[in-house]
Every structure is written in C-alpha cells, then in structure tokens.
Amino acid sequence: MYLTTIIVSAGKGKRFRGKKQFYKLSNKIIVIKTAEKFTPFSDEMIILLPKEDISKWSKKIRSIMKHKNLKILPGGKHRYDSVRIGLENISNRCEIVCIHDAVRPFIKRKDIIKCISTAKKYGSAICAAPATDTIKISDNSGFIERTIDRRKVYLVQTPQIFRRDIIVKAYKQVLKKQHSSNITDDAQIVEMAGQKVKIVPTNHSNIKITTKKDLTLCKSL
C-alpha cells in the first residue's frame, strides 16, 4: 500500500527557546535524523517547516535525504494546521498516512513496522507508552480529585498512522467546526470524528525533545 509520511517540524520551540528541530544530535540535524527513520517505509515524504526557514533549510535537507518523492512545505500556526497542509498535499496514490513529530528521533524500526501493520488492520493506530507512575486528577485549586487506574493510561507518542480516508475526513469534519489549540494530536481529531484508534504499546525511549534538558539527555543516549 502506498504510504505517505508527514514529518511535523514547523514548531517555534517556545519552551525550548529555539527551533530544536534544527539542532544537531550525533552530528546530524534532528529533523533529518528523524525523517531518515521513515525513509524505508515511505513512498512519499512531506516535511513541514516554519515558513521563514524554508529557503535556509530546504536545499540542505534535500541534499542529505535524497528521497525521490520529498516535499518540503511551510507549516501552519498550530500543529494541526501543519498536518492539514500536509494532508492537502499528499499524492492521489496515497492509501496510508503516517504522521510523526520531527523531535522524536529515537523511534524504533520495530515500532514503526508494528504501527503500520496495525493501522492497515484497524484503520488507525498510534504508538503510546503505558503509564508507570500513579496518575492523579486535580481540581481547580490543586487538590487531588481522584486517582485514575494507571493500567488504562497511556502516554501518547508518534507515529500516528491512519488510512487516508479516515484521517482526511476527520480533519475536514472536525476543523470545519472547531479551531482550538486544545487539539494536541491527530488521534484526538479522529476520535472527535467518531472513529476508534488502536494503541500500539511502546516504551519510554521514544523521547520528544521539548526542553534543553531533553536534548542533553538525548545526547547521553
């Protein structure tokens, strides 16, 4: 099945205080290090970058990636805006859409393979790590309201992989009615469209680089 990978790399890095996707890890730019993990599985790859960085980074990424069907496009204000732009530019041949955060460079090959096969079977699949800490819900004053059964709690990661018809329809349906920065991942949009999403259990090594401390930790791995 024709698979398109969308690498979401258009963030401004406010918490990081810099565009972390362009920092180096093991002498390789993070967005490239991450995208290369998906090259063996991707018939087409779309990388979303901050609009102001397209001219600076596009040529460099192309020279290193050398993917025959690579598109580098300006992303949007929010993550879901960037994904929407990616979805609007996928090939007509695309059957499966794989969406991954550029700042998760440690995704394992076996987890990509399992997530793809699960999405093909169920229509939607995401990687997620089972919670190991006790999970509390607080009230507005910061007091514990209740404790959640952590056996049912997963910390969601990417990739998030969907049949094309499911993810495209969900984005059109949900974003037509609601534009909210509270939407934090693609599975949420699919859920809001009334579809089920299958969890592919992974471990906690699929780190998302969010802060400088995360980058320091990753450099030690």
List, as one string, the DSSP characters of 115-148.
HHHHHHHHSEEEEEEEP-S-EEEE-TTS-EEEEE
Q: Any residues with CB less than 8 A from the CB of 162 and at least 6 apart, and which?
A: 96, 97, 99, 119, 123, 124, 125, 170, 186, 190
The enclosing domain of 99 has a CATH number of 3.90.550.10
Q: Which two tokens stand for residue 20?
A: 């972390």
pLDDT mean over 175-181: 73
**pLDDT band at residue 200 using 50, 70 and 90 as cut-offs:** very high
Give the C-alpha separation, 183 to 191, whole Å.
11
Distances from the Cα of 202 to the Cαs of 42, 102, 120, 127, 128, in angstroms? 21, 18, 18, 6, 6
Q: What is the structure's pLDDT at 66?
A: 82
Measured in Å, how far apart are the chain's first and last C-alpha atoms? 34
Segment holding 95, helix H or strand E: none
3-state secondary structure of 209: coil
**DSSP annotation string for 37-92:** HHGGG-SEEEEEE-GGGHHHHHHHHHHHH--TTEEEEE--SSHHHHHHHHHHTS-T
- CA dihedral sign of residues 36, 41, 42, 45: negative
- pLDDT tens across 74-132, in order? 999 999 999 999 999 999 999 999 999 999 999 999 999 999 999 999 999 999 999 99
Residue 59: give the domain boundaries.
3-220
Tokens of 186: 């693609």
> Are 159 and 107 in contact, with CB atoms under 8 Å apart?
yes
Q: Are 103 and 208 in contact (CB under 8 A)?
A: yes
Name the percent of the chain lying above pLDDT 90: 82
Euclidean distance between CA atoms 208 and 20, whole angstroms: 11
- Average pLDDT, whole number, for the chain? 93
Q: Is the pLDDT of residue 221 over 90?
A: no
Average pLDDT on 34-57 reads 96
Sign of CA dihedral 94, 169, 34, 150: negative
The count of domains in the chain is: 1
Q: Among 122-131, 153-162, 163-172, 177-186, where is mean pLDDT lowest?
A: 177-186
pLDDT reported for residue 16: 67
Tens digit of each residue's pLDDT (9 = 90 or more) over 46-58: 999 999 999 999 9
What's the pTM value of the predicted model, to 2 decimals?
A: 0.94
